[in-house]
Amino acid sequence: MACTVPGRSAGLPELLTAAAIMTYPVEAVGPEAPVLYAIGILDRSGFSQLPVLDEASRPVGTFRARDVRRLYWQAGSQPLATQLADLKVGQVCSEPLPQVRPGAGLSEVISRVEKWHAVLVGPQESSPAWGIITASDLVRTSKPYLLLAELEVRLRSFIAERLATLYGRRWEERIPAEVRHRAEERQAAAQGLAPPGLVAEEESVLEFCSFGDYLEIVLARENWGEAFAPVFGSREWVTRRLKDLQALRNAVAHHRRLTGEEIDLLDAYVEAFLRCLGTGSR
């Protein structure tokens, strides 16, 4: 569960700090805990590692799934269960995970997780408890960005292919004038920001449209009946979903954390649209 704690870096949006995405408090074991007990936690939780904390909550090691595999191969002729029954976590654990402050930026977190697969967060001044960030936490955090990116690329490609199939090489003329004007302004602004001497690739104005623009293209009188009604079926259905997706996209683009309900809604909408684009029916 993500948790926010004091101590984030001044000037950084809350969503972009380690504290915003960590699992807190971390599940840990002590160095004197039996190895079989730690294995049970890994098995029950699905974790790949457990921080090992001493009595003062200081990290002294990490008990990893690979440590269990190493014990298996080193068991020799002695039954593994017998060997493990006599071992303590502190005797077999690996080195401690790297640490970051609760207010550390995500760039720092990502660089460490890429190397170590997990990072400890903390501790706080008000509590000795630690948090943890794993690759799974980073995937969960980036999920809204990735879902929206996939849907936008697929929807854009679908609109272009659908119009080109029906209306040929002049399909861009089916884009409403106001939508085209807004997109061309964004395109010009993007080209103005390009480094000097960089030759920009030729791009369709659709590359600079928003979900709201896609909705106008789909619902345009000259497009809806022949091009898009057979795909989406209902104007109300596509209108509500594209408007909601535009609101979700704006929230994600401005680094506002989505609620659980919003993420569930995004999941459902993306699945529904991809099903439409893939099968031609809702």
Mean pLDDT of 110-135: 88
The β-bridge relationship of strands 118-121 and 99-100 is parallel
What pTM did the predictor assign?
A: 0.72
Helix axes 211-219, 235-253, angle to 10 degrees: 160
pLDDT the model gives residue 199: 47
Whether the predicted pLDDT of 9 surpasses 60: no
Whether the predicted pLDDT of 232 surpasses 80: yes
Tracing tokens 């600079």 back to the chain, one arrives at 208
Name which CATH class applies to 14-129.
Answer: alpha beta
Instruction: Report helix, strand or coil for 61.
Output: strand
Q: Are 243 and 269 spatial neighbours (Cβ–Cβ below 8 Å)?
A: no
Mean pLDDT of 118-146: 88
According to CATH, where is 3.10.580.10 located in the chain? 14-129
51: Cβ contacts below 8 Å, ≥ 6 apart: 26, 28, 29, 59, 61, 62, 96, 97, 120, 130, 132
Mean pLDDT of 61-74: 82
Instruction: Report helix, strand or coil for 103.
Output: strand
pLDDT band at 68 (very low <50, low <70, confident <90, very high): confident
Structure tokens at 251: 């929230």
Whether the predicted pLDDT of 184 surpasses 90: yes
Mean pLDDT of 12-31: 84
